[in-house]
Amino acid sequence: MSQQVRSEKIAVRAEVRARRASASPRERERRRDALAGQLVDLVSDFGARSVTAYVPLGSEPDIGAFLEWASHAGVRVLLPVALPGHRIEWAIDTGARIEGRHGILEPEGPRLGTEAAGDVDLLLVPACAVDASGTRLGWGLGYYDRMLATLHRRPPVYAVIDDEDVYPSLPRDAHDVPVAGAVTPTRILRFADPREV
């Protein structure tokens, strides 16, 4: 990673953190409910019966209302379990969660391994930001890029972000895995499928 790319990524992350932290509780609630509607539409469009998702941490886009809907709608949800070495395994979301690495809540159930993500219909992943070409900027630890790069089968990947987190372009390294789309509280963005580029 070049020093310039590293510096640009740090600047974008700081900007997004500050913007997300400044949102009022009322605005966060509005975004949560709107985001749930968009995620339900995306899952319905794909006819997805299984997805990966995440439990939001801090000011990450709140998908709690979507997780509730998925539970009631019979959509199987896998949530990440962070492992040493910046690796991810998955477990089925049953609603029972414990605190894991980095203070992130994770399912109590049995671990399914990294490859379980390749068996779902749709991957919903957290992100700091995305750009118009599908570049996804994470938070710098590389968990998701490592996981996505190792899947033998990669279902469509959609980043979950706020509307302001869509940039015209973002700094990118060779190891950054692009996404097929992004979901915000007001829209679903579809990029070129990175496997076809």
| pLDDT 10s digits, 83-121 | 888 889 999 999 888 787 777 888 888 899 899 999 999
How many CB atoms sit inside 10 A of residue 185's CB? 21
| pLDDT 10s digits, 130-162 | 999 999 999 877 789 889 888 889 999 999 999
Q: What is the pTM of this model?
A: 0.92
| pLDDT 10s digits, 74-85 | 999 999 998 888
How many CB atoms sit inside 10 A of residue 81's CB? 21
116's CB contacts (< 8 A; 6+ apart) are 78, 89, 90
Helix axes 25-46, 64-73, angle to 10 degrees: 40
Q: Are 31 and 23 in contact (CB under 8 A)?
A: yes
